[in-house]
Amino acid sequence: MGLNDHISITPAKLANLLENGNISEFNNERKQIKQQIVFDSIDLSNKDLSGVELRSLVMLHSNLSNTNLENSSLTDVQISGNLSNINLRNADLLNADLRDSDLTNADLTLTILNGSVFNCKSLRTANLTDNAKQFHIVESINGSLKEVSSCR
């Protein structure tokens, strides 16, 4: 692959591949890009994206409701938005930041959450069954972010 081929791989092209469920091509194209990719307001709701490699992506104000990300890699991602009813079963969320995400009825069964950051609002009704991995809960207390041990 030459330099011109790398230039043609844009965030818009990657977003289009995800929106069309073309996981294999997305994974191949994403491997060619070393810098961080930011998607704002991408709609991936109701998509089957099982096995996708979303490492180091930033997805702000996005809709991933009812999306299947089972067995996917979301290492070092930052996602905010609607993740209600998302399937993250057996996914890798190592060091993921999901603080401003709605995880209502999300399935996080057997998901790797080591170093991941949530807030209480994002965890209220998430399914953490069989998940004994380490994650962090961060809340704004007196204007600064503090780690808390549990939610009220």
Same domain, 104 and 147: yes
In this structure, the answer to whether residues 28 and 50 fall within a common structural domain is no
Bridge partners of 82?
63, 102
Judge if 75 and 149 occupy the same domain: yes
Do both 61 and 98 map to the same domain? yes
Task: Tell me how far CA of residue 52 lies from CA of 12, 31, 123, in angstroms.
Answer: 17, 12, 23
The CA distances from residue 85 to 29, 55, 68, 126, 147, in Å, are 28, 21, 9, 9, 26
The pTM of the full predicted model, rounded to 2 decimals, is 0.84
Higher per-residue pLDDT: 113 or 92 = 92
Per residue in 38-61, pLDDT tens? Answer: 999 999 999 999 999 999 999 999
Residues 86 and 113 in one domain: yes
Whole-angstrom Cα distance, residue 150 to residue 71?
27
Q: Looking at the structure, tell me whether residues 102 and 30 fall in a common domain.
A: no
CA distance linking residue 62 with residue 148, whole number of Å: 26
Residues 126, 148: one domain? Answer: yes
119 and 58 assigned to the same domain: yes
Which residues form the domain of 51? 46-152
Count how many domains the chain has: 2
Q: Are residues 50 and 33 in the same domain?
A: no
pLDDT tens profile 20-38? 999 999 999 998 888 889 9
